Structure 1
């Protein structure tokens, strides 16, 4: 078992990784907005991408580069512009940025992956970014992980940067990660921009299956507003600098590394929900007793994505009818007379009807910041967990004026 912690090192915690961030003039604030995460040596890489049918130019270019190159040197990320819905011109812009970054690092353009976040529909100020690239390469250091995480923030209120270590095949392996996201967060891989690094030696073919497993109950089981972005992606780079013995050559080694990777993804996912745009409360929805895990997840998402449930939680109104209604609108197998609902340990529903708890007591269960909603469907062993946040007037204010 590894211990994931918030970390200034983040993506630079594993051996052989550096990062840097500069201002290229994309953010109106003038704060850093261009980030580069680089491995000293060619690394195996893999990624999961958005399922939105309008994938952004950097998503398309990164997908192509993952197919074209066996190894990769790094990821270039920017905030302040999504480069989405920009047509062939936007794709050429992303390619141009990768090519110039590659020239500065002495590698091929296909060895550079790219990600962008910001307003959809406008092209990036590529000349400004090209002018800033030599500076960001010059600043690459092992102590710039936090700066890298800060530079990709948009409506985030805090950087999201973590690290951990785990023993794999008798060797200490390090993992680091950073992410951004507080709005347009909804599971369907991905759910934001994220970069995870490790000094374990992996083959490129091993990475995507590992990412899929790690993201299933973490990045793919959170939501802020039910919106799947055009730009979402999560990258994993593995450079093998932990030593020649550190490989996934046994079931035990794979289990140990996957456990640590999942914990990193889980901590990053939790940090996104806790920093949800305008969020006042963190909602942890736990479904048990479903006919299957898949059915449990459908029920959990229905509750977590319900605007009525989210506003009730914000208003500290333990209106359990909204929870039942949200689940009942799905195709999940439900026998009402078996359903139980509790909020922070307070019984609200038993056998599908009011448990008799005084309304005031139920409402007091919603007084804190952390809200656990437990639903037992009483049918089988299927279970799922889904995390989200409440819906507030501040969320509306942030998004009503996002481009202003």
Structure 2
């Protein structure tokens, strides 16, 4: 049985430490963080598909390519170190080198991540001071230090942890993430860090992560924009003591579910904390030709600005939903679509039903909105998550650098 752990995040699995400090990259908030494994951990990662991949991604790819092992992840906020040319790449490698010296870890066992303003150079003197000041620990407050240090316009920390028994051993998977704007993933488009004490190879971990990214992180959208920096990275140090996991292991599905629960939890937290958001929107599409087409329709709906603004205004305008369905890259029979808002049926076989506008408005004033669309053309299903679009989104992004 899979159990949700209420506290701990990336430190719930055995053999990990974390921390964060204020290095001066931001006015007062923590801005440099680290996750550290006691031993090199098998690693897998997925990355943004933006053509402008930032320097930290290049360095992280280089590290993982050597042995598939990562022992530490060093992260800074406030500056993305993206579109910064050779100096930016040199600075990212220097972050790796400074972390190697500070913690006596091989350079190629270190991943680097940055988030913040694009096109500005890192203040390396402050980065160096911050790395030297890091003192990662095992306590919940150390996990919170890391979770805080990676935030930008986020309003809350994002973490998760789930546990189950595999081979009679308690195996934990924990995570931390940041993301609030520029969220429209094609691979990741956020920063997500997942730790586990499971015994699993980098190869099998990579297969699992890529499969689950498609149905979790790739199914969230806040504003339709893809970023330059972001990744999801998983470290597995094997300290739980289970037998090596692979698709042939009888309890492989348990591990997959553990990882999925974490990825989905973090993805939904990001969607709910969209810049200026007041509501989490969950769209479920059933009856599609395939699961892939169901996911495409769900994401089209949750990403529609007209749907998002209607939800913000508590306006049950299902015409905006049907408009989004018609734009999706999926087969749709215009005579067979059903739409529900919560448990309230709005459309059946593409014909409008009588419903209470007052009840619909009351439902749309809640913090979580569920939309269900049945295409009635197949057995495919999929989900997507997003948020409403408020006045505050414009305010936040109109003054992002000030």
- Per the alignment, residue 176 of structure 1 pairs with 174
1:74-131 per-position Cα deviation (integer Å, ceiling 9, x unaligned): 1001111100111111011000110111122222211110111101010110111112
Within the alignment, does 1:141 sit opposite 2:140 as a pair? no
Matched residues in 1 for 2:34 and 2:360: separation?
A: 49
Matched residues in 2 for 1:6 and 1:277: separation?
A: 25
- Give unpaired runs (5+ residues) of structure 1: none
Deviation at 1:328, TM superposition (A): 1.0
Within the alignment, does 1:162 sit opposite 2:160 as a pair? yes
Within the alignment, does 1:289 sit opposite 2:287 as a pair? yes
- Is 273-282 or 110-119 further displaced after alignment? 273-282
The match for 2:398 among 388, 397, 400 is 400
Q: Which SS does the other structure have where 1:167 is aligned? A: strand
Instruction: Give TM-score scaled by structure 2 length.
Output: 0.96
- Per the alignment, residue 23 of structure 2 pairs with 24
RMSD: 1.4
The alpha-carbon distance between structure 1 residues 21 and 350, as it changes in their structure 2 partners (threshold 3 A), is same
Q: Which SS does the other structure have where 2:3 is aligned? A: coil
1:210-263 per-position Cα deviation (integer Å, ceiling 9, x unaligned): 1112222211111111111111101111111112x3421543222111110110
Structure 1 runs (4+) deviating above 4 angstroms are none
The match for 1:222 among 207, 220, 223 is 220
The alpha-carbon distance between structure 1 residues 268 and 301, as it changes in their structure 2 partners (threshold 3 A), is same
- Per the alignment, residue 2 of structure 2 pairs with 2
Matched residues in 1 for 2:68 and 2:261: separation?
A: 27
Instruction: Give TM-score scaled by structure 1 length.
Output: 0.96
In the alignment, is the contact (CA less than 8 A) between 2:174 and 2:195 conserved in 1?
yes
- Per the alignment, residue 247 of structure 1 pairs with 244
Matched residues in 1 for 2:231 and 2:5: separation?
A: 22
How many residues were matched structurally? 399
Q: Which SS does the other structure have where 1:31 is aligned? A: coil
The match for 1:72 among 70, 73, 77 is 70
- Per the alignment, residue 212 of structure 1 pairs with 210
In the alignment, is the contact (CA less than 8 A) between 1:196 and 1:237 conserved in 2?
yes
Deviation at 1:71, TM superposition (A): 2.1
The match for 2:382 among 356, 381, 384 is 384
In the alignment, is the contact (CA less than 8 A) between 1:170 and 1:246 conserved in 2?
no
Deviation at 1:301, TM superposition (A): 1.4
Matched residues in 1 for 2:398 and 2:211: separation?
A: 36
The alpha-carbon distance between structure 1 residues 314 and 126, as it changes in their structure 2 partners (threshold 3 A), is same
In the alignment, is the contact (CA less than 8 A) between 2:201 and 2:245 conserved in 1?
no
Q: Which SS does the other structure have where 2:250 is aligned? A: helix
